[in-house]
Amino acid sequence: MSELHDHLLPFWIRSLRKTRLDVVFGWFRSDVKYAPLEQRESNTDALALYDIQRRFRRKQYDFDRIINHSLFAIEDLTFNSILARANSHLVEIAKALREELPPELVESIKKTESTFEQLWDPISNEYFSRDFVTHRPLKQTSIAP
């Protein structure tokens, strides 16, 4: 969970980390019986996952309620690259078979192409993933196209 930056952590977890009280939390972890210290996630990461679980439960695991306010929802560059390439292969396969794709699928393929171009940053001259809620680019260079 190294991509989980400090500014995304809830206040109470940042406070525990700053005061070193997250170490106390480690005394009560049950996973110490099953995995050595170097193979477990840090106390801060475990608390962050616990916080995520609480948020999801509070929203009754309803995707629409979760996604509109999620700290972790991103439009991932790698996923969208794979999707765009799979769509182009699907179009080629349909042409080879002389089959018509359903109109709603053709429309979705067009939306994918136009949405993918919104991930382009002309200043950096590269594509970036972006935050789903704010649509701000997550300016971290990727190996994806």
List, run by run, the mean pLDDT of 10-residue segments along the chain (145 residues).
58 85 83 81 85 88 77 81 94 96 94 88 89 80 67
pLDDT at 69: 67
Strand partners, 137: 130
The candidate with the shortest Cα–Cα distance to 114, out of 134, 91, 87, is 87
pLDDT at 1: 45
Cα 74 to chain centroid, rounded: 5
Contact (Cβ atoms closer than 8 angstroms) between residue 48 and residue 9: yes
pLDDT of residue 40: 84
Cα–Cα nearest to 14, from 3, 6, 26, 5: 6
Rounded Cα distance between 69 and 102, Å, is 33
Q: How many CB atoms lie within 10 A of CB 129?
A: 19
What's the pLDDT score for residue 56?
86
What is the structure's pLDDT at 106? 94
